Chains A and B, each alone.
Chain A
């Protein structure tokens, strides 16, 4: 027993500070948020608060504004994930066989990843200017220069929830498609050449080769991409803040709504929104974490 502690003890000791820090700053603070969300602390003032159970949650889900933010989030997430996956996969497909200048294409497709969402939001806010006709600015002006006036549209300021949130998703797609490309490209390059060879010898067409041999190999990557993009989208905040400003009902999502609630010092409600957000993310992430850890321990 003593020997085992001598063997394992130091390792556990190294991890102890991390466990304590994360125990407090992640799990402890989540519990704290949850606790606040069960109270009637609707001001910044300190002092005793009453527990009101799940009233804050019941109120939230009965509230038009919160439901609107959830719907916005749903649409944003779909538009963002679909857009990014399509672009990323397409770029990877175009590049995977290798061509001259591949490195340049790769680097340019990837560089938006290095930029903050605030900076990209500043530029895209300019590009997505809603003015049309003679006063058109940004992309609308470009469309009119190219005689593509049909494409002019009010972006996030008008139209349906879909056009609004797809406009918000567009800059995010611009930023992250390169990342998805990189994932898929690494996936393609990781497939042994013999597999393709064998399929071709068997007389498979290019289409069949991708459909039956290559794509199935990429499904774990597609799953990872889905999880990563999904949980990014759920937390998206900076981009909306920079493009539309935080106080826009049209583009409000829970993370932004939480910020607005906090500005009014409604602590309990802000906490409840943040816990709902956490729950949505957890539904997506917990199975993924469990799966990853199980896989790791099998190795």
Chain B
């Protein structure tokens, strides 16, 4: 999925709502011990459903090729080996370097533009701002297939080398809508009206207000958009497929190549799937609350 798949106009507020402890009245609902046990049993069953693929991918990634027979598919490795990881790493390493050099700047640039836009749309509105808002919002939902062909032609005509630079430009442009919306909502809910008004009365212009008042309190907004953009750029496949080639593409193309050959090396494919997922998983684990904030963006009003 890509950035545009999840619309946004809320931030960490919704995430905070999830982790909010239920009110006492909800706990004191007279839920019996039996009902609690039933809930636990059901939850554990669902946990199995969610974790089964994890078990498979992890054990398979440590197996020797003779160990991946049909009969042994669900058992632990007879002998544990790092060979699949080494194999996958050898293939994926240049792709990972390219993906990093793509996702980090793409996330930063789109976030900066989104922050400035969001501030204007939330706090420095001009006549017709709503129209502009709708214009941007719709840009977030379009199926990228509808622009992909001419986009490729445009880049060819601009003579931009197909590869990471092309992809970077595309991800920045199509990342702007969601970043704008996340920041717009962030500023609409977080910044008190009075601060901006008094700054205006004092004669501060837009740039001054933005630089002195808004930017310093934007950190958690930036964390959300940076995580969001990094994850969606890292995980993007469609743009990569259309705008780059395998020998200069990002990591999703590398994984598709590794796992999609004529004779599939399952152990190496699984190790590859893990390797390519580690950066985003790490972001999720370390910055979970903000990650959720990005996810929730837009589906819920702050």
Contacts and interface: CB of A to CB of B under 8 A. Distances in A.
A22 B151 contact: no
Interface in B65-89: 70-71, 73-74
Interface in A37-82: none
Contacts of A108: 47, 50-51
A251 B1 CA distance: 18
Nearest to B5: A232
B116 interface: yes
Nearest to A280: B143
A114 B150 contact: no
A267 interface: yes
B121 A15 contact: yes
A56 to B, nearest CB: 13
B295 interface: yes
B141 A281 contact: yes
B221 interface: no
Contacts of A213: none
Nearest to B209: A10
Given A116-B276, A237-B237, A290 B134 contact: yes
B99 to A, nearest CB: 10
A267 B176 contact: no
Given A107-B288, A137-B73, A36 B149 contact: yes
Contacts of A119: 255, 273-274, 276-277
A131 B71 CA distance: 12
B288 to A, nearest CB: 6
Contacts of A116: 234-237, 252, 255, 276-277, 280
Interface string A1-42: 000000011111011011101100110011011001000000
Interface string A172-186: 001000110011011
Interface string B173-189: 11011001000000010
B237 A238 contact: yes
Nearest to A267: B149
A18 B176 contact: yes
Interface stretch (A91-99, A151-159, A160-168): A91-99
B198 interface: no
Given A22-B177, A114-B280, A224-B300, 15 more contacts: A22-B139, A26-B174, A97-B27, A98-B21, A114-B291, A115-B235, A119-B277, A120-B53, A122-B270, A126-B266, A141-B73, A186-B296, A193-B26, A267-B149, A290-B134
